[in-house]
Structure 1
Amino acid sequence: MARSKKNTTRSKGNKKVRNLIFAVILLLISAAISYVYFTTQKFDNVMLPGVSVEDVDLSGKSKEEAIQILREKYSNPILSKKINIKTPKRTYTINYSELNPQYNIIETVDGALAYGKDLNIISRYKLIKKPEIKKYKLKFSYNHKPVDDMISTISKEINSKPVEATISLVNGSFQVTEDKKGFELESKKLSEDIASKASGKSREDINIDAPIKSLGANVTAEALKTVNSKIGSFSTSFTSSSEARSTNISLATQSINGKILMPGDTFSFNEVVGERTKERGYKEAGVIVNQQLDSGVGGGICQVSSTLYNALLKGNIKTTERVHHTFPSTYVEKGLDATVDWGNIDLKFKNTFDYPIYIEGFTSNKNIYFNIYSNSSLAKRSYAITTEVYSTIEPTTKYIDDPTLPLGQTEVVKQPRSGYRVRAYKNIYENGKLIGREQISNDYYIPINGVIKRGTKK
């Protein structure tokens, strides 16, 4: 009986101990939870430890404090900065204050302040006790228009086209003027250089050397001074031409005179001479239309193109486009004519030499003269042009009785003309010796069948 009371007493004592231990544990847990809660609560409205923007540690800073710190470090100082663009003649300056420069400070601070706030209380507590470095970057923006306007101003003062050298033939001697370099501001590159440096966090002014490209002339004095010898020439007569035809010939020849072709350049007769219009002084004269002679503005021009073509052949210059007439011309041999028609048929040739080509063209005493000049090394060879008519095709003539014409009277509606097949050759001579022969062309002039009316009226 006594033992039972003793056990009961001991049981009650153990229970008290357990209750006490449990109460202590609850107290400790409550204290720990309170500690965690109050510790994390301190950072509800401030940055967590380890948070920085750029190189500024904002741990424990409120939004307002962070904004103020960043503005003082970045926004305010940048207003006193300048962008200096140096050119060979002067330095152009633009103040940052004109650019309305801005850092996205508020947006960045909002992001930094929100860091870790979406985590549960335990995870936030861990970030506070064992901070993880979290860095945010500011974005910089500004109004580009003042910069673009400044670049445009610099371009206008810097940009200049190169001046090409010129060559002229005076009293049998060549006179060459010097070429001049041009300059061009590399606007895009300058804009990119400014953009890459304008967002920097340095308080120092930005100094940039304007990127300027040197532009060389296509026609240089050095190249033109290699022109020193005649390599080909040809002339034709227009003695029987009317005043209108003679005028057209003179105008076209003047357009070609003094033309320079640098190595690789292509010459287009139509581009150089231009459109033959009355406004440009051209007159109506005989032209070939629909297989017969007619009248048209610019008549006679084909004699100019044919004369030039023969001078080119004598100078061994490569013709890239050439068309012969419907029927042979009277001013050059068969197979050696070259017709042109604005917007339709052209005479073109290319300078395949290593030296420039200079073309002299003039008229005198109703003769057209074309002289081709280049380097004396090309004059070591000479070229003779020959032709061979290897086939003649006779035309037919159709007679039409016409009761409105008196008996025995005739009227030519279409003049019959023979057709020809003609080969042209270039004989190549060196030191007076024939060293080669090349076929230039193989032309076919179609026969033109005649049409004649004969009167039957009595």
Structure 2
Amino acid sequence: MKKNGTRKSKKGNGARTAIIAVVVVVLLVALGATAYFVTNSEKKQSVVTPDGKVVKMTVEEMESKLNTELIYNGIKINGIDVGGMTKQQAIDMLSGMNIQSPDEIKISLLMDGENLPLDFSGFDVNHNIEQVVEDAYGYARTGEGQTAEQQLVDRYQKCLLLETQPKDFELSFTVDTEGVSEVVGTILAPLEQEVMQASVTGFDKETLLFVIEESQPGIDIDIETAIADVKSAIDNKEYDKVITVGFSMIEPTTAKADLESSMGLISSTSSKTTSDSNRNTNIRLICETIDGLVLQPGESFNFNDFIGKRTADKGYREAGGIYDGALRQELGGGICQPNTMLFHSVVKADLQVDLRKPHSWPSTYVDTGTDATVTWGGANFQFTNTSEYPIAIHAFYADQKVTVEIFGHALPDGMTIDFIGEVNSSSAPTSVEYVADPTKPIGTQSQERGSHNGISASAYKVYYDAEGNEILREKAFSSYYPVIRAKVLVGVLNPDGTVATIDPATGAVITTAPTLPSDTVPSDTTPVVDTTPTNAAPTDPADPADPAAPADPAAPTEATASPADPGV
């Protein structure tokens, strides 16, 4: 047992001895290192000054200069001395200065030899001040060499060199390119130009020539590519760059000379007027109003909308017009004649008639079935320029003759169109309308309205080639003029003041059962008569559809009255 105990005691003593030995070694190493560093810190190192001299300096002497939180003297940023400043002081100072502005971005565009500067004054600019200050502060904070002493000497020598050779750090900035599209577009978009074909802007009523504006080429600018190029230059910090802008010229397909050579008189229609000066005045006013009117392709003409209400203030006079199947004096009487001339010329110019209505009975100045009535608030005439070129209306009155012409692009291949009417059937009235008139002596008669035959008529467009040969005949319009009975007023006032009656079938006075006179005027029965034909051009020229035609065109409906036709 003791033996075992003695063995244990020897083992414990050996361990303690080992530990003590390790501690002693560590202490010796530490003391040696301390002695080494103390010795080296006191040992002077060779330092080469900027002028080439070699001086001896201790580590402490060098560290006293290098170990500072300030930027080393001789450090500049954009030429501004920041030596001796803390990083934050340098940041604050530089941030408060206009180091560089977008005005210094001199990117411009070059288009067709013209330099176009761009304005970047409103752009957001981001400087890299903090990063550059950090770089400036970090200068000479590290050195090169194998040992710590060598690295320290390298740092110190860099600082010494700053005294004669300052180190200047340059700031840079980035520009937000979000507004580039607007800046470039503002410059280039106004330079783009739509191609302008030669166009008709008016009609000279003296020379009978169209006023034609010359064509202009278009300019198509590649704005999107220019925007991309400017953004790329900014991103690459190419702030002084000229960017060439691509563009192309678009040549017009129609020249002024082309229109001048192809535009001229297409159709003309004339007719004699009466000797009624008031009626002729009204006709002249219509001609003066529509003369020189230009309609571009697709534009429409509406007679009532364009002419307006016929009033005395406008110079219109009272002349004969149809009302209730009879002629009466009214403002604007006679204006249907120039309107009918316009209708004819429109048809012969191969334009589209949108709305047309015949009179209550045929007009004497054109073929039956080819007239066109108008009245304010009622019948109207409308057409559309369905050609590919502008047209002009030339209308004039002189020496009891009215003429309306259409000028425009000639019909193809020298073709011309005539407009004629043919009567299909005619039927005379079979009775007379007698009306008792208590204001007239008994037995007297006066005709208030004349009679007119009922007529069915068709109008045709006849096409001729350049040699005058008929090449096509197509039915264009159908017209139905109602039978209008004569209207006779029969006096029924007896000498004693009593009022007799009449037989409405014969107009004979009935003397029995007299009645007291009254203050009422004769009752004019006015049955409604549908005289509106279908005026749209037929879809099949050989057999045009006409849904508005009566069941028996040969026997138009007999009527005692007709719609108002103020401009007969």
TM-score (norm 2): 0.49
**Deviation per CA, 1:6-51, whole angstroms, max 9, x where unpaired?**
568869969x99xx9xxxxxxxxxxxxxxxxxxxxxxxxxxxxxxx
C-alpha separation in 2, matches of 1:68 and 1:144: 34
**Deviation per CA, 1:392-450, whole angstroms, max 9, x where unpaired?**
47386543323233323456676654433211223444445444321111122344566
**Deviation per CA, 1:324-345, whole angstroms, max 9, x where unpaired?**
2341333323210123456862
Letter in 2 for 1:224: E
1:130 — aligned with what?
A: none
C-alpha separation in 2, matches of 1:102 and 1:283: 71
Alignment of structure 1 residues 45-124 onto 2, 5 Å: 76-81=100-105, 95-96=119-120, 99-103=121-125
Q: Does 1:241 align with 2:242?
A: no
**Deviation per CA, 1:201-225, whole angstroms, max 9, x where unpaired?**
5422676869899897999441231
1:116 — aligned with what?
A: none
* 1:404 aligned residue (428, 436, 439): 439
**Deviation per CA, 1:234-267, whole angstroms, max 9, x where unpaired?**
2112223332x322322322344445566x4445
Q: Does 1:335 align with 2:369?
A: yes
Over 3 Å counting, the alpha-carbon distance change for 1:88 and 1:203 in structure 2 is closer
1:3 — aligned with what?
A: 4
**Deviation per CA, 1:173-224, whole angstroms, max 9, x where unpaired?**
x76766324699999x979967984793542267686989989799944123
Residues 218, 252 of structure 2: 8 Å contact kept: no
Over 3 Å counting, the alpha-carbon distance change for 1:192 and 1:388 in structure 2 is farther
Structure with larger Rg? 2
Q: Does 1:203 align with 2:236?
A: no
Over 3 Å counting, the alpha-carbon distance change for 1:271 and 1:339 in structure 2 is closer
**Deviation per CA, 1:80-132, whole angstroms, max 9, x where unpaired?**
33576778898675654xx43323669x999xxxxxxxxxxxxxxxxxxxxxx
1:285 — aligned with what?
A: 318
Q: Does 1:420 align with 2:455?
A: yes
C-alpha separation in 2, matches of 1:290 and 1:109: 98
Q: Secondary structure at the match of 2:404?
A: strand
Over 3 Å counting, the alpha-carbon distance change for 1:175 and 1:457 in structure 2 is closer
**Pairwise CA distance, 1:305:** 1.6
1:226 — aligned with what?
A: 262
Unpaired runs of 5+ in structure 1?
A: 21-61, 111-136
Letter in 2 for 1:252: I
Alignment of structure 1 residues 164-313 onto 2, 5 Å: 164=200, 179-181=213-215, 197=230, 200=234, 201-204=237-240, 220-227=256-263, 231-243=266-278, 245-259=279-293, 264-270=297-303, 273-276=306-309, 278=311, 281-286=314-319, 287-288=321-322, 293=327, 297-313=331-347
Deviates more, 1:419-428 or 1:280-289: 280-289
Q: Does 1:366 align with 2:400?
A: yes
C-alpha separation in 2, matches of 1:149 and 1:207: 16
Q: Secondary structure at the match of 1:305?
A: helix
Letter in 2 for 1:438: E
Letter in 1 for 2:366: V
Letter in 2 for 1:436: L
Residues 107, 230 of structure 2: 8 Å contact kept: no
Alignment of structure 1 residues 118-133 onto 2, 5 Å: none
Residues 196, 252 of structure 2: 8 Å contact kept: no
Aligned length: 376
TM-score (norm 1): 0.59
C-alpha separation in 2, matches of 1:82 and 1:292: 86
C-alpha separation in 2, matches of 1:414 and 1:192: 81
Over 3 Å counting, the alpha-carbon distance change for 1:211 and 1:237 in structure 2 is farther
C-alpha separation in 1, matches of 2:489 and 2:185: 78
C-alpha separation in 2, matches of 1:296 and 1:197: 74
Q: Does 1:440 align with 2:441?
A: no
Letter in 2 for 1:235: S
Over 3 Å counting, the alpha-carbon distance change for 1:214 and 1:303 in structure 2 is farther
The percentage of aligned residue pairs carrying the same residue is: 19
Q: Secondary structure at the match of 1:310?
A: helix
Residues 198, 255 of structure 2: 8 Å contact kept: no
Deviates more, 1:203-212 or 1:322-331: 203-212
C-alpha separation in 1, matches of 2:244 and 2:421: 67
**Deviation per CA, 1:304-360, whole angstroms, max 9, x where unpaired?**
1201222344x35133313123413333232101234568623314344x7765544
Q: Does 1:325 align with 2:358?
A: yes
C-alpha separation in 1, matches of 2:476 and 2:460: 5
Residues 387, 424 of structure 1: 8 Å contact kept: yes
Residues 369, 479 of structure 2: 8 Å contact kept: yes
**Pairwise CA distance, 1:148:** 9.7
Residues 227, 358 of structure 1: 8 Å contact kept: no
Residues 425, 456 of structure 2: 8 Å contact kept: yes
C-alpha separation in 1, matches of 2:340 and 2:315: 18
Q: Does 1:457 align with 2:489?
A: no
C-alpha separation in 2, matches of 1:316 and 1:160: 27
Residues 322, 339 of structure 1: 8 Å contact kept: no
Residues 367, 421 of structure 2: 8 Å contact kept: no
